[in-house]
Chains A and B, each alone.
Chain A
Amino acid sequence: MKRVILVLLVSMLLVAPSYAGTKDIIYASESTAKSLDPHDTSDTYSGAIERAICQGLMGFDKDLNIIPLLAESYTFNDAATQFTFKLRQGIKFHDGTPFNAEAVKVNIERMMTGKYKRSSLMKPVESLQVIDEYAVQFNLKEPFGAFVNAIAHPGSLILSPKALKTYGDEVSKHPVGTGPFIFDEWVSGSHVRIKKNPDYWRGEVKVDSITFRPIPESGSRLAMLRAGQAQYIYPMPAELLKIAENDSKIDIIKQPSIIARYLVMNTRYKPFADVRVRRAVNYALDKKSIIKIGWGGAATEADSILPPNLQFYKKQAVWPYDPEKAKTLMKEAGYEKGFEVVFLTPNASNRLRVTEMAQQQLAKIGITGKIESMDIASFYNKLESQKVDDASPLPFIGFGGWSASTGDADWGTRPLISTDAFPPAMSNFGFFADKKVDDFITAGLASADPDVRKKAYADLQDYVWAQAPWGYLFVDTMLAAKTKNLKGIYPMPDGAFSVESAELTD
């Protein structure tokens, strides 16, 4: 027994670790990698790691603008049914396979089989035509103006055709791409490691390796950064911001996201069918205090149905906090005495806090009710089990959130407020139905010309802001933290991150 204790003590002294000298980065995150097959990935975190290994024809820059990557340029026809991409020459996959039109074809046709989680991105595609070794043409079934966004989406990354042939669907454990980093190791539940691609086509990669480690507890995550055992953490917990700000070795990164938060109401039936009631809800919500207390200050007030970083966003006037006006509207609508609802929310503590605050604020204009909080799977189950023609539904107010992963106005509106998107088809959980909205959304897709689309979405935003299908709340600000000597890693507005230009200075 004595020997055991002695061994323990000695080993405690021997292991004082040293972490200096190498260009290895540890990225500590809340999430765990679930797959490394881009076509079969639905979570942002795995998708972001994939983006360090693989690239698409198009991609996003740090502000979510679309930039050409493996494609040099593209053209499209007026009807938005034909998109031709000219490919970059001389690029090789990590396994030496050359990148060309054939590689694109193999990948897109794999997605078009409909077997993968991101197959839906290629749903508009009728056929893919190889024009020559460095040009491909997509023929669409119907006009789809947002198609370039689908091509830039992390779900449309291009894998090495050789790797696809060798591994089949096991490619999820052996991703091979053209990106700045080569896949090295994935130990499920522990870490993913990627290492430098010495022949990267866009220039030298400045770090040797990056290890992605899931650290679910936020206090431990910050401790790793402070102890120098991680160089970058995401998310940086808002409640620990003070501690991090007082640490001279740490930089805080704040980045506006495209994650919209709002309160969904069933607009198909009374009382929320009345736009005056919905406007009353918007006047009754004190967004500023909800952000400050409920969300740790890490958000900005919603000023359109689209978050500012999404394409074709048009700023609107924030709904002012005006409980008196709200009461007047309730009276006009015949609900002077108020009515009862049920509040639905996922049980994450910050969402519950926001819902509690909304509950208190709405109680002041007579909208009262209990909160039902549940884990996220049960929450979806509850919202999606609603029937469109159930005439006596319980009026509810649900805490909603949406991140349009294609970075496009279409995906930020159509799945949420169009008539086609009633659950279970998509996520219009409030059954909001408005002919004008549907028309604007169709017009936005009918052309790939940015000016035409911009006009359609501007009209849509002006109109739907006043219709108030939701209690508009806020747009998340993403918080990350890094050590001072790390440069070039930053969070992207869609909740992913970019590590391509990572660099460690001394």
Chain B
Amino acid sequence: MLVVVSILAFAFVHLLPGDPARMMAGDDADQATIEMLRKELGMDRPLPVQYLTYMKNLATGDLGTSLRTKLPVFDEIMLRYGPTMYLAIMGMAWSVIIGVLFGAAAAIYNGKWQDYTAMMLSVSGISVPQFWLGLLAIQFFAVYLGWLPVAGYTGKFSELILPSFTLGATVAAVMARFTLSAFLDVLDEEYISTARAKGVVESLVMWKHAFRNALIPVVTMVGLQFGFLLGGSVVVETVFAWPGLGRYMIEAVGVRDYPVLQALLLLYSFHFVFINLLVDMVYALINPEIRYE
């Protein structure tokens, strides 16, 4: 699977128009400098040779060095993996807490004001552009109130709050809509009627019988969204100058930093494979009837 991805990654990246040597050499470079760099970067060799070298290195776990900074790609990615991971986890936490609560509330109080409020907020959450929400949050919490840092990440928790909230808000909205519909579907099931007929207290019906079952599609959604978040949100990482993978990707595309792009594409595919596995395992936890032989 990952072998196929690695071939595709190499092919895609080299199909992009533009020449890394030209970009590295700078705006006012002469041809001699560009030729020298092309040689230095190993790009004067035929493509199949470059591909074989790339695969050979990959097999030994060597992702190569960034053309732009000459630092090892592996180190550069590890440096940015943490910040993106924290951002994804915190963003996911915000979105699950807010999204599932809102969704559940809307389902339980179906047709009442709680329902309308929760759904109105979630529609706004889906519609609001992330960069606008981020800049607004910066203006209010960082410039006007002066409570939180504007941008950047140097390891402080306070720096994580605004970007993760901005990231989480959009996902929360999706999550709320999803929880609502899953919940309503479950409430229509016969075992809920049975439970009520048996005289089980309403709150127990909701939390024990309905909620747990409604969670299954929600977990799928969480997994899927988390896969995207781990790739690094380009918009949030740009607005908040976050030293993560999303911005790294954008910078690398801009100068055609082939080894970095190839490594990131591989990493993203790995994320999705891994997360899908994780989601399947969580299903089994929530509903013991799902078993994998």
Q: Which residues of A contact B (CB under 8 A)?
A: 1, 4-5, 8, 11-13, 15-17, 32, 34-35, 42-43, 114-115, 117, 119-120, 123, 169, 172-173, 187-191, 213-217, 219-220, 223-224, 226-229, 374-378, 380-382, 384, 401-405, 411, 415, 424-427
Q: B255 on the interface (CB 8 Å rule)?
A: yes
Residues of chain A within 8 A of B217, CB atoms compared: none
Residue of B nearest to A377 (CB): B18
User: In the docked arrangement, what's the CA distance between A123 and B31, Å?
Assistant: 13
Residues of chain B within 8 A of A11, CB atoms compared: 157-158, 161
Chain B 40-51 interface 0/1 with A at a Cβ cutoff of 8 Å (1 = within):
100000000000
Residues of chain B within 8 A of A214, CB atoms compared: 241
**A377 touching B23, Cβ below 8 Å:** yes
Partner of A411, one of B28, B156, B254: B28
Partner of B158, one of A1, A5, A12, A377: A12
Q: Which residues of B contact A (CB under 8 A)?
A: 16-19, 22-34, 36-37, 40, 68-71, 76, 79-80, 93, 97, 131, 134-135, 138-139, 142-143, 146-154, 156-158, 161, 238-241, 243, 247-248, 251, 253-256
Partner of A377, one of B33, B240, B254: B254
User: In the docked arrangement, what's the CA distance between A223 and B34, Å?
Assistant: 39
User: In the docked arrangement, what's the CA distance between A22 and B28, Å?
Assistant: 40
Partner of B79, one of A5, A35, A189, A415: A189
What distance in Å separates the Cβ of B252 from its nearest Cβ neighbour in chain A?
Answer: 11
Interface centre among B33, B150, B247 (most CB of A within 10 A): B150
Partner of A375, one of B18, B25, B131, B153: B18
**B241 touching A217, Cβ below 8 Å:** yes
Q: Known A-B contacts: A12-B161, A42-B25, A227-B142. Give 6 more (CB < 8 A).
A: A8-B161, A43-B26, A190-B153, A220-B239, A223-B151, A380-B19
**B138 touching A223, Cβ below 8 Å:** yes
Partner of A227, one of B25, B36, B150: B150
Partner of B239, one of A217, A374, A375, A426: A217
Residues of chain A within 8 A of B253, CB atoms compared: 375
Partner of B97, one of A5, A226, A411, A425: A5
Partner of B151, one of A12, A215, A377: A215
**A380 touching B147, Cβ below 8 Å:** no
User: A216-B238, A402-B27 are known contacts. Are A384 and B157 too (CB-CB below 8 A)?
Assistant: no
Can you list the 5 inter-chain pairs with the closest CB atoms, starting with the nearest? A42-B26, A377-B18, A15-B158, A189-B243, A190-B243
29 contacts between A and B (CB under 8 A): A8-B161, A11-B157, A11-B161, A12-B158, A15-B148, A17-B146, A34-B68, A42-B27, A43-B26, A120-B29, A172-B70, A188-B76, A190-B243, A213-B241, A215-B151, A216-B238, A217-B239, A219-B138, A223-B138, A223-B139, A224-B151, A376-B254, A377-B17, A378-B16, A381-B17, A381-B18, A381-B19, A425-B31, A427-B28
What distance in Å separates the Cβ of A235 from its nearest Cβ neighbour in chain B?
Answer: 15
**B147 touching A425, Cβ below 8 Å:** no
User: A217-B241, A227-B146, A377-B254 are known contacts. Are A424 and B158 too (CB-CB below 8 A)?
Assistant: no
**A32 touching B251, Cβ below 8 Å:** yes
Partner of B25, one of A117, A123, A172: A117
Residues of chain B within 8 A of A188, CB atoms compared: 69, 71, 76, 79, 243
Residue of A nearest to B145 (CB): A16
**B131 touching A217, Cβ below 8 Å:** yes
**B241 touching A115, Cβ below 8 Å:** no
Residues of chain B within 8 A of A190, CB atoms compared: 152-154, 243
What distance in Å separates the Cβ of B247 from its nearest Cβ neighbour in chain A?
Answer: 7
**A220 touching B241, Cβ below 8 Å:** yes
**B255 touching A377, Cβ below 8 Å:** yes
Partner of B152, one of A215, A380, A403, A405: A215
Residues of chain A within 8 A of B27, CB atoms compared: 42, 401-403
User: In the docked arrangement, what's the CA distance between A43 and B28, Å?
Assistant: 10
Residues of chain B within 8 A of A381, CB atoms compared: 17-19, 22
Residue of B nearest to A170 (CB): B70
User: In the docked arrangement, what's the CA distance between A424 and B24, Å?
Assistant: 15
What distance in Å separates the Cβ of A15 from its nearest Cβ neighbour in chain B?
Answer: 3
Residues of chain B within 8 A of A220, CB atoms compared: 134-135, 138, 150-151, 239-241
What distance in Å separates the Cβ of A125 from its nearest Cβ neighbour in chain B?
Answer: 14
Residues of chain A within 8 A of B148, CB atoms compared: 12, 15
Residues of chain B within 8 A of A226, CB atoms compared: 143
User: In the docked arrangement, what's the CA distance between A5 and B94, Å?
Assistant: 10
Residue of B nearest to A190 (CB): B243
**A415 touching B33, Cβ below 8 Å:** no
User: In the docked arrangement, what's the CA distance between A228 and B27, Å?
Assistant: 34
Residues of chain A within 8 A of B131, CB atoms compared: 217
User: In the docked arrangement, what's the CA distance between A382 and B253, Å?
Assistant: 17
**A216 touching B241, Cβ below 8 Å:** yes
User: In the docked arrangement, what's the CA distance between A35 and B30, Å?
Assistant: 20
User: In the docked arrangement, what's the CA distance between A32 and B247, Å?
Assistant: 11
What distance in Å separates the Cβ of A426 from its nearest Cβ neighbour in chain B?
Answer: 5
**A227 touching B143, Cβ below 8 Å:** yes
Residues of chain B within 8 A of A123, CB atoms compared: 32
Residue of B nearest to A420 (CB): B30
Residue of A nearest to B156 (CB): A15
**A217 touching B150, Cβ below 8 Å:** no
What distance in Å separates the Cβ of B253 from its nearest Cβ neighbour in chain A?
Answer: 8
What distance in Å separates the Cβ of A381 from its nearest Cβ neighbour in chain B?
Answer: 5
What distance in Å separates the Cβ of A146 from its nearest Cβ neighbour in chain B?
Answer: 14
Partner of B33, one of A120, A375, A380: A120
